[in-house]
Amino acid sequence: MVSICILKGSLLKVRIIEASIKDDGDYDYIYDNAVHNTLNEYWKWAETSKGTVSFKKDYEDIGYTLTLCVDAVFEEPEDYALFKLTYGGKPFTKLQINNMMEGQFVHG
């Protein structure tokens, strides 16, 4: 999988999470918790940086599976560039769950 950078109007996007998930309501709380845990480091970065970044969660049908996608959306090219230099551009593709049922997305 390749990171996605889209210039759409004035928005720049970086794909943070692109992971296949089960289409089952019983897993919703695990996925939401994993997204929160995965984005913690990015929220801290957003608080300390002077730019504006927001995160957008969406679901896409990629291939034959439902895919959870989370994008970081930037208004300024400078913020986008700093983010890419700090974190790279490879999205997390695999859900990792510990024995306490706490999840986090990792590189697959």
Domain ranges of the chain: 7-106
The confidence band for 3, taking pLDDT boundaries of 50, 70 and 90, is: very low
pTM: 0.84
Q: Are 44 and 23 in contact (CB under 8 A)?
A: no
pLDDT at 9: 52
Burial of residue 86, with CB atoms counted within 10 A of its CB: 0-12 exposed, 13-18 middle, 19 or more buried: exposed
pLDDT at 80: 93
Nearest to 51 by CA among 83, 87, 28: 83
Q: 106 versus 27: which is more confidently predicted?
A: 106
User: pLDDT by residue (tens digit) across 30-76?
Assistant: 999 999 999 999 999 988 888 788 999 999 988 888 999 999 999 89
Residue 22 clears pLDDT 70, i.e. is over it:
yes
Strand partners, 106: 94
